[in-house]
Amino acid sequence: MQRRGFLQGLTLAVFASSLLRTAQAAQAATTKEIEALQKNWRALLAANFKAPAPTEPLKLSNDEWRKRLNPAQFKILREEGTERPGTSPLNAEKRPGVFACAGCDLPLFTSEMKYESGTGWPSFFTSIPGTFANKKDFLLVLPRVEYHCVRCGGHHGHVFDYGPAPTRQRWCSNGVALKFIPKQA
């Protein structure tokens, strides 16, 4: 039994070390560059997309959410589920654009904020300011910071403190909870 625990701990340590190296290999940005990304996200939106404001609350009944979302989106956004790693097509999304909430269209991240974390979930080193509310999650015993869309309350994922410099954050998002809006030339 002790050998199994040792092997599990060793595996976890190798995995965590790999994540940290991958996160550090991401393009490092200065704090000023990150602030510019957070301010200039509107330029990446498609011309025909009108972004809602975070202050426009969207409150729907569960039946209304079920009509609006597909079953996978409902499970993630409304029931705080987690999609399997490596299943989101947004992992490979490299085009310029904006990642918005699949529940209410609120812009959350830009493509310039995204990086490859090696975890199998779309990951970002920062977010558009004012778009998320956080809460502590003790589901896995140790506390984690869970983040929800400030407009519709939809669950998106967790934010961890082992991302790339200078934020050192990894906003680990369920791809099902996002929709990608490509920039139009």
Contact call for residues 117 and 85 (beta carbons, < 8 A): no
Instruction: List the structure tokens of 181.
Output: 């809006």
Answer positive or negative: Cα dihedral of 68, 52, 87, 139.
negative
Residue spans of alpha helices (H) in the chain:
2-25, 31-39, 62-68, 71-77
Concerning whether 152 is annotated as a catalytic residue, the answer is no
CB hemisphere CA count around 177 (13 angstroms): 29
Task: List the helix and strand counts (H, then E) for the chain.
Answer: 4, 9
Contact call for residues 76 and 129 (beta carbons, < 8 A): no
Compute CA distances 106 → 129, 150, 156, whole Å: 12, 9, 12
Catalytic residue among 101, 104, 152, 172: 172
DSSP 3-state assignment of 11? helix
Q: Which residues are catalytic?
A: 172
